[in-house]
């Protein structure tokens, strides 16, 4: 047993309003430099949709994540020898055009243009070449289903949906979609770390944050392909890969990451998980439909004294173990089993979990009335009908959040619905006690649990959402570095301009 601590995350998708505040908060702090213009360490996608970079989920194309081959777990991208053979040309590398060519506008033209009959215009110019460009893609090109028949129709998660289900998704004026905010998953079995030939991508032992050493990176760019979520980006100017750093300089001073802090819908939770690092390979090698459960298995109970002792033994600080006991992520993922990893089939054991959205519940309406197929549930009103008729097909959600295993997603929804029914019973009182009890029973839940889920979902305080102790690196470095010198440089350990000089 080798217990490690992981700063982990939960995004509650029912609360995401798709405002992109998280993306902007991140952009303004980290990626407004030359070479990073096209990077969005945090981005928000509309689903169904092909995302950013286009079709990132298609691992036939990008070969990210891990695969089981001859009973062994290995990166899908390459064998060890293959990595060296492909140094000169990475066959699975997304290029700039798979993201988009970053642009600005020639605003000076508005002032400098000679007087004439026509209004001057500010043409879009490339932020790479400085030359005029035709804008053909952007970081969020199919936002709110813009151009759906062209873009969203290619979404790999639509596989397995019937034609009727697909038709209903696109029913005019009743289109259905939800938002998927994405940052680096800081995986327990990171693909980017596994494929880096130089060994420059690493996981921090103390908190599990995955980072790229800018001094060790030699631009072999395998990490870009190896991450199945496409959350490692190549800086075309410095010749180094960069990625989400979970705002570790903020975490070190006790603040949540900027995207978490700024989230308008308060959908984001941050907490510590304890997991058994000796069982990473075993969990990541599980059969596809058991991957979600296998990952839950290696997440350990922080209240168990034996686990806490083992964690302390392997160097986890006492305040991290204490935080693990109050972790909202532990509740959502392990106790309530409501939050699921995105694309578990990539076998990276992500540390970012999503509570799937309920969305509009009804799939089809006849005329003005919401006619339910299931008569028994009709009495629950139009808000809550049968899951089988869900507007967003369960199969689609299972493709996203459960490696195709619909049972796992159904269990989550049954619980989410039970919480709603139970709260409607206690607050609005238009649902009979028996109905609420039956729903809870069906969801294998209790009134106490439903109340706790409601509290942490609807009215959590700042301190309940973000439960990570200050990583207190300043205390740790005190004997070596002057904390007052170190603090403004907030933990970079790398204090030169990221520019090419030679």
Partner 1 sequence: MSSVVLFVAFPYVAMILAVLAGIYRYRADRFSYSSQSSQFLENRLEFWGAVPWHYGILLILTAHLLALLFPAAWGHLIGAPIRLYVLEVTGLALALITLAGLAILILRRVTNARVMVVTTVMDWVLLAALAVQVALGFWVAFFYRWGADWYLHTAVPWLISLFTLHPRIDYVVGLPAVVQTHMLLGFGIILLFPFTRLVHLVAVPISYLWRPYQVVIWYSRRWQPVLAETSKAAMAPGSSRTGL
Cα separation of 236 and 97, whole Å? 13
Instruction: Pick one of 75, 139, 341, 356: the residue that binds partner 1 (CB under 8 A).
Output: 75
205 binds partner 1 (CB under 8 A): yes
Cα separation of 465 and 459, whole Å? 10
How many residues comprise the chain? 502
203 binds partner 1 (CB under 8 A): yes
Instruction: Pick one of 32, 144, 171, 215: the residue that binds partner 1 (CB under 8 A).
Output: 215
280 binds partner 1 (CB under 8 A): yes
Beta carbon of residue 11, minimum distance to partner 1 (angstroms, whole number): 25
Strand partners, 47: 178
1 binds partner 1 (CB under 8 A): no
- Choices 185-193, 264-272, 303-311, 360-368; region in contact with partner 1 by CB under 8 A: 185-193
Measured from the CB atom, the residue of 100 and 425 that comes closer to partner 1 is: 100
Cα separation of 195 and 222, whole Å? 6
Cα separation of 37 and 31, whole Å? 6
Nearest to 191 by CA among 3, 63, 84: 63
How many angstroms separate the most distant Cα atoms in the chain? 81
Is beta strand 103-105 parallel, antiparallel or unpaired with respect to 124-126?
antiparallel
462 binds partner 1 (CB under 8 A): no
Beta carbon of residue 56, minimum distance to partner 1 (angstroms, whole number): 15
Measured from the CB atom, the residue of 220 and 336 that comes closer to partner 1 is: 220
* Spatial contact of 499 and 237, defined as CB atoms under 8 Å apart: yes
435 binds partner 1 (CB under 8 A): no
* Spatial contact of 59 and 156, defined as CB atoms under 8 Å apart: no
Cα separation of 193 and 200, whole Å? 8
454 binds partner 1 (CB under 8 A): no
* Spatial contact of 16 and 181, defined as CB atoms under 8 Å apart: yes
494 binds partner 1 (CB under 8 A): yes
Instruction: Pick one of 43, 59, 90, 168: the residue that binds partner 1 (CB under 8 A).
Output: 90
81 binds partner 1 (CB under 8 A): yes
Instruction: Pick one of 201, 324, 403, 436: the residue that binds partner 1 (CB under 8 A).
Output: 201
Cα separation of 485 and 275, whole Å? 35
Number of residues that bind partner 1 (CB under 8 A): 60
72 binds partner 1 (CB under 8 A): no
Cα separation of 428 and 435, whole Å? 14
Beta carbon of residue 401, minimum distance to partner 1 (angstroms, whole number): 25
Alpha carbon 204 to chain centroid, angstroms: 19
- Residue 119 makes CB contacts below 8 A (sequence gap 6+) with none
Cα separation of 72 and 319, whole Å? 36
Instruction: Pick one of 111, 149, 480, 488: the residue that binds partner 1 (CB under 8 A).
Output: 480
Instruction: Pick one of 17, 32, 69, 95: the residue that binds partner 1 (CB under 8 A).
Output: 95
Measured from the CB atom, the residue of 356 and 491 that comes closer to partner 1 is: 491
425 binds partner 1 (CB under 8 A): no
Measured from the CB atom, the residue of 197 and 389 that comes closer to partner 1 is: 197
Q: How far, CA to CA in Å, does 231 sit from each of 75, 223, 249, 436?
A: 16, 9, 19, 42
Interface ranges with partner 1 (CB under 8 A): 75, 80-81, 83-84, 87-90, 93, 95-96, 128-129, 131, 189-190, 193-194, 196-199, 201-206, 214-221, 224, 234, 236-240, 280, 315, 473, 476-477, 479-482, 485, 494, 496, 498, 500-502
């Amino acid at each position: 047993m080798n217990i490690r601590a992981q700063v982990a995350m939960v995004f509650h998708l029912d609360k995401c309003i798709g405002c992109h505040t998280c993306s902007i908060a991140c952009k303004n702090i980290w990626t407004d430099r030359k070479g990073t213009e096209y990077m969005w360490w945090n981005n928000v996608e509309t689903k169904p949709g092909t995302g950013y970079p286009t079709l990132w989920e298609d691992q036939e194309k990008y070969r990210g994540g891990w695969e089981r081959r001859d009973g062994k777990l290995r990166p899908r991208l390459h064998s060890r020898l293959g990595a060296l053979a492909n140094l000169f040309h990475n066959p699975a590398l997304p290029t700039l055009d798979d993201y988009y060519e970053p642009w600005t506008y020639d605003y000076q033209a508005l002032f400098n243009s000679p007087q004439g009959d026509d209004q001057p215009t500010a043409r879009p110019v490339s932020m790479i070449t400085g030359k005029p460009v035709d804008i053909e893609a952007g970081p969020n090109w199919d936002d709110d289903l813009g151009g759906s028949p062209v873009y969203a129709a290619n979404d790999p998660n639509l596989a397995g949906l019937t034609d009727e289900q697909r038709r209903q998704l696109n029913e005019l004026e009743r289109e259905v979609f939800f938002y998927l905010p994405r940052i680096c998953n800081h995986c327990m079995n990171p693909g980017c770390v596994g494929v880096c030939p130089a060994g420059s991508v690493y996981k921090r032992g103390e908190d599990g944050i995955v980072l790229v050493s800018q001094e060790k990176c030699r631009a072999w760019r395998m990490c870009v392909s190896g991450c199945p979520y496409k959350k490692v980006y190549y800086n075309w100017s410095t010749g180094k890969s960069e990625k989400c750093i979970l705002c570790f300089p903020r975490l070190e001073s006790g603040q949540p990451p900027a995207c978490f802090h700024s989230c308008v819908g308060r959908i984001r939770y941050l907490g510590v998980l304890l997991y058994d690092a000796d069982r990473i390979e075993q969990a990541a090698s599980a059969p596809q439909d058991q991957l979600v459960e296998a990952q839950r298995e290696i997440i350990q109970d922080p209240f168990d004294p034996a686990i806490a002792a083992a964690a302390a033994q392997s160097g986890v600080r006492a305040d991290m173990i204490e935080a693990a006991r109050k972790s909202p992520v532990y509740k959502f993922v392990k106790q309530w089993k409501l939050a699921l990893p995105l694309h578990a089939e990539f076998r990276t054991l992500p540390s970012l979990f999503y509570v799937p959205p309920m969305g509009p519940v009804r799939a089809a309406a006849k005329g003005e009335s919401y006619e339910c197929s299931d008569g028994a549930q009709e009495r629950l009103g139009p808000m809550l009908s049968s899951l089988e008729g869900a507007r967003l097909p369960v199969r689609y959600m299972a493709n996203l959040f459960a490696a195709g295993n619909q049972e796992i997603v159904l269990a989550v929804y049954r619980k989410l619905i039970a919480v709603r029914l139970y709260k409607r019973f206690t607050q609005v009182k238009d649902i009979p006690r028996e109905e609420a009890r039956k729903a809870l029973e069906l969801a294998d839940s209790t009134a106490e649990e439903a109340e706790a889920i409601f509290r942490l979902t609807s009215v959590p305080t700042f301190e309940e959402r973000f439960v990570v102790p200050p990583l207190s690196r300043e205390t740790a470095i005190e004997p070596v570095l002057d904390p007052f010198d170190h603090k403004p440089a907030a933990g970079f350990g790398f204090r030169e301009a990221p520019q090419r000089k030679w």
